[in-house]
């Protein structure tokens, strides 16, 4: 029983079929998928189960933690500030945030920060979870951290720190000095009439389907390989856990999903990793980056086209994730690590499977959320099956 509910526009039935196949044939537990084409919602489906015990159906109003899919929302907030003339991608970060200049970072540009080239994937020294959840503390620590490589000479995934760095820029340049979560709520969520939180209110907690992790591998060789690349003290391990602040005893050195299920973490503002939303809300946001939706367009054509250009060197290995990754102005762009719908796509995937993006060439936006994490950071096969079904429908039309 898959409990599939929702609608697809005529001709989009293959997406429902792909969604049903995911629920029947993969590790899927509960999930939602939505797509817009030419400014119109054409897919809105949800199904499966809200809980690991499969006793409560995944519902229309279920909310889901989407990990790094949040980064795309933060990139949109930054782009809105650029559109308003509050911020320039080409200006030094220190022009807006003077303290950031410490340790030789004075010339680092906003573009370099947004494309993970500033070498600040963690902070110097130990940090506790409570300190990491305090905005003023963690941003001050980042400003006073030395870059891990000469700025602009390499890039490495700022798994958690990206959100505080970009979010502090928004706070500094916003005339009302709003936090990133408040900016998103007042400038994106309310105008579009959606549910999207960076900093979850207490009254919504009960509707968040808990993230479920895959069991750890029992293959010693695989476990050793994982420890080598993302264990404590490695760039990936430190980036994903902020020097262990977000890890758990069962998941040492890596981002602990169980920590992200807690009220304290969901209530904080972690604009790289703790967004809570649903598929129709995320797909609507990305649609509104291309064309007016309900009278709201979030980005101009000029800023959008700048923001989605890949600026990281072709085939350059990611210093944290090892394999090549591709970034524009905060968006992960289309590449081997994040295929999306192909060239021109911009958005962001989240750990374990979630993803949201747009592709202007097809006038297409897409979002997928789920509660069962796969053991991957991007290019989830469940999401890709749904994306492929969507693009086949569009291309056949």
Angle between helices 69-83 and 279-287 (to 10 degrees): 30
CB atoms within 10 A of CB 53: 8
Q: Are 186 and 80 in contact (CB under 8 A)?
A: no
d(CA 77, CA 84): 11
CA distance 193 to 384: 27
| Cβ atoms 74, 271 nearer than 8 A | yes
Catalytic option among 2, 34, 62, 68: 68
Length of the chain: 397
Structure tokens that stand for 164 in this block:
């505080």
- Nearest-CA neighbor of 297 among 310, 286, 305? 286
CA nearest neighbour of 58 among 372, 387, 350: 372
Farthest CA pair distance, the chain: 58
Residue 33 · residue 48 · CB < 8 Å? no
3-class DSSP state of 359: strand
Rounded to 10°, the helix 135-143/161-173 angle is: 100
CA 118-121-126 angle, to 5 degrees, is 130
Strands (E), 189-291: 196-198, 208-209, 275-277
Give pairs for 130-139: CB < 8 Å, separation 24+.
Answer: 131/245, 132/160, 132/242, 132/245, 132/246, 133/264, 133/265, 133/268, 133/270, 135/164, 135/167, 135/168, 135/179, 135/268, 135/269, 138/164, 139/164, 139/165, 139/168
The DSSP annotation for 246-274 comes to T-BTTBTTS--HHHHTSHHHHHS--TTT-
Q: What are phi and psi of 21, to 5 degrees?
A: -65, -40
Active site residue 258: no
Q: Catalytic positions, please?
A: 68
């Amino acid at each position: 029983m898959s409990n599939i509910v929702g609608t697809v526009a005529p001709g989009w039935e293959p997406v429902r079929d792909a969604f049903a196949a995911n629920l029947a044939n993969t590790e899927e537990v509960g999930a939602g998928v939505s797509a817009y084409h030419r400014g119109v919602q054409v897919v809105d489906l949800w199904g499966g189960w809200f809980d690991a015990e499969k006793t409560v159906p995944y519902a229309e109003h279920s909310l889901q933690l989407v990990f790094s899919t949040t980064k795309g929302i933060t990139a949109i907030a930054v782009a809105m500030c650029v559109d308003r003339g509050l911020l320039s991608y080409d200006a030094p970060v220190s022009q807006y945030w003077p303290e950031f200049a410490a340790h030789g970072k004075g010339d680092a540009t906003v573009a370099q920060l947004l494309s993970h080239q500033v070498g600040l994937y963690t902070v110097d020294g130990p940090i506790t979870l409570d300190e990491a959840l305090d905005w003023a503390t963690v941003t001050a620590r980042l400003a006073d951290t030395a870059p891990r490589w000469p700025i602009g000479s390499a890039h490495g995934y700022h798994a958690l720190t990206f959100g505080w760095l970009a979010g502090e820029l928004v706070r500094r340049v916003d005339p009302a000095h709003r936090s990133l979560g408040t900016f998103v709520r007042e400038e994106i969520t309310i105008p579009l009439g959606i549910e999207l939180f960076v900093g979850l209110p207490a009254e919504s907690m009960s509707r968040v389907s808990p993230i479920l992790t895959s069991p750890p591998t029992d293959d010693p060789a695989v476990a050793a390989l994982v420890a080598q690349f993302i264990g404590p003290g490695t760039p990936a391990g430190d980036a994903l856990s902020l020097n262990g602040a977000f890890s758990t005893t069962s998941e040492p050195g890596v981002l602990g999903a169980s920590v992200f299920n807690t009220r304290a973490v969901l209530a904080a503002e972690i604009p790289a990793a703790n967004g809570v939303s649903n598929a129709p809300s995320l797909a609507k946001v990305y649609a509104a980056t291309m064309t007016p939706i309900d009278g709201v367009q979030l980005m101009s054509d000029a800023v959008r086209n700048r923001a989605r250009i890949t600026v990281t060197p072709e085939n350059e290995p990611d210093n944290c994730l090892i394999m090549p990754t591709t970034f524009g102005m905060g968006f992960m762009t289309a590449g081997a690590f994040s295929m999306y719908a192909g060239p021109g796509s911009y958005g962001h995937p989240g750990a374990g499977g979630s993803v949201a993006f747009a592709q202007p060439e097809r006038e297409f936006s897409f979002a997928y959320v789920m509660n069962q994490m796969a053991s991957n950071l991007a290019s989830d096969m469940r999401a890709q099956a749904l994306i492929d079904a969507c693009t086949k429908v569009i291309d056949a039309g």
